[in-house]
Copies of this chain bind each other. A is one copy, B any other.
Amino acid sequence: MKITELINQIRNKKSFLCVGLDTDLEKIPAHLLQEEDPIFEFNKAIIEATQAYCVAYKPNLAFYEAYGLQGWKALEKTMAFLNEKYPEQFTIADAKRGDIGNTATRYARAFFEQLHFDAITVAPYMGKDSVEPFLEFKNKHTILLALTSNPGAFDFQTKEYQGSSLYQQVITTSQSYKHAKNLMYVVGATKATFLKEIRQLIPNSFLLVPGIGAQGGSLEEVCANGMTNTIGLLVNSSRGIIYAAKDKGFAQKAKEKALELQQLMAVELEKRKL
């Protein structure tokens, strides 16, 4: 998907919400467990209920891999369903992969070509030759971990070296990679105050922002510090939406939670006449 198509979708829906499909058999409503493919049935219901209020879906691969073949089958079905029924949705494989050269190319093909994701999250630790293979794919997007929303982010990411912190180095160094225009970055909402200085490094890049809600980040602060003229933000919510209720009304409740966030987002867009 071209970035302009994503921006148009955001403008049409007045939403920059990404729904995280972290589907866990221990957390989905019990009545779904009788279905042949409970993971897919849950995802389908969540997608149908929320698609009008969000612009992106982000399955976290760990949840699917945890169920082996059954999980992969459910992921394939979910992606086929999304691409057929809601092709306008931006799809992100939250895989946090990072490997070298031809191995990275393998991952890129798996996610971009076999599963038809628009984007994948990638870890920067192994540097250039672990990131560039992903960047080669046209109209596909590589979302590099920069500053994550978890406490462990302070172990290495925020440490200063040679005058700037690691996450800043990741941003500036990666901007010199070939096809860097296909880069986006993960910046946690719990670090909203860092967004101002990140915007000095990358004034226009899209940021994927987890950590709103369950992890305590504020949408207003994220927008105040991170929004650009072309929006530049995808804000993710997973548990707060998909597990808002555990009974038969789970999809309706997910819809309400997505709508709630969409309305807050519409206000932020309106404020800035975007």
Which residues of chain A (45-77) have a CB below 8 Å from chain B?
A: 60, 62-63, 65-69, 72-73, 76
Docked-complex contact B68 and A110, CB < 8 angstroms: yes
Docked-complex contact A159 and B162, CB < 8 angstroms: yes
Which residues of chain A (147-175) have a CB below 8 Å from chain B?
A: 148-157, 159-162, 166, 169-170, 173
Residue in B closest to A165 when the chains form the complex, CB atoms: B161
Docked-complex contact A156 and B170, CB < 8 angstroms: yes
Which residues of chain A (73-113) have a CB below 8 Å from chain B?
A: 73, 76, 94, 96-101, 103-104, 106-107, 109-110
Partner of A127, one of B73, B104, B155: B155
Q: How many copies of this protein are present in the complex?
A: 2
Q: If the complex has contacts A98-B96, A161-B160, A169-B159, are A126 and B153 also in contact, measured as CB distance less than 8 A?
A: yes
List residues of chain B with CB within 8 A of the CB of A145. 125-126
Q: How far is the CA of A173 from the CA of B68 in the complex (A)?
A: 32
Docked-complex contact B100 and A152, CB < 8 angstroms: yes
Q: If the complex has contacts A128-B151, A128-B155, A150-B126, are A65 and B106 also in contact, measured as CB distance less than 8 A?
A: yes
Judge if A22 is at the interface, Cβ distance under 8 Å: yes
Residue in B closest to A127 when the chains form the complex, CB atoms: B152
Residue in B closest to A113 when the chains form the complex, CB atoms: B66
Which residues of chain A (230-271) have a CB below 8 Å from chain B?
A: none
Judge if A135 is at the interface, Cβ distance under 8 Å: no
Judge if A8 is at the interface, Cβ distance under 8 Å: no
Judge if A180 is at the interface, Cβ distance under 8 Å: no
Judge if A123 is at the interface, Cβ distance under 8 Å: yes
How close is A230's CB to chain B, nearest CB, in angstroms? 28
Docked-complex contact B150 and A101, CB < 8 angstroms: yes
Docked-complex contact A156 and B124, CB < 8 angstroms: yes
Which A residues are closer than 8 A to B by beta carbons?
22, 24, 60, 62-63, 65-69, 72-73, 76, 94, 96-101, 103-104, 106-107, 109-110, 114-115, 123-131, 145, 148-157, 159-162, 166, 169-170, 173
Q: List 16 A-B contacts (CB under 8 A).
A: A22-B103, A60-B99, A63-B106, A65-B107, A67-B110, A68-B115, A72-B72, A96-B97, A96-B99, A124-B125, A124-B156, A125-B148, A126-B148, A127-B154, A127-B157, A130-B152
A123-B123, A128-B152 given; name 16 further pairs at CB < 8 Å.
A60-B99, A60-B103, A65-B110, A67-B110, A69-B73, A94-B99, A96-B126, A126-B152, A128-B151, A131-B152, A156-B169, A159-B162, A159-B166, A161-B161, A161-B162, A161-B166
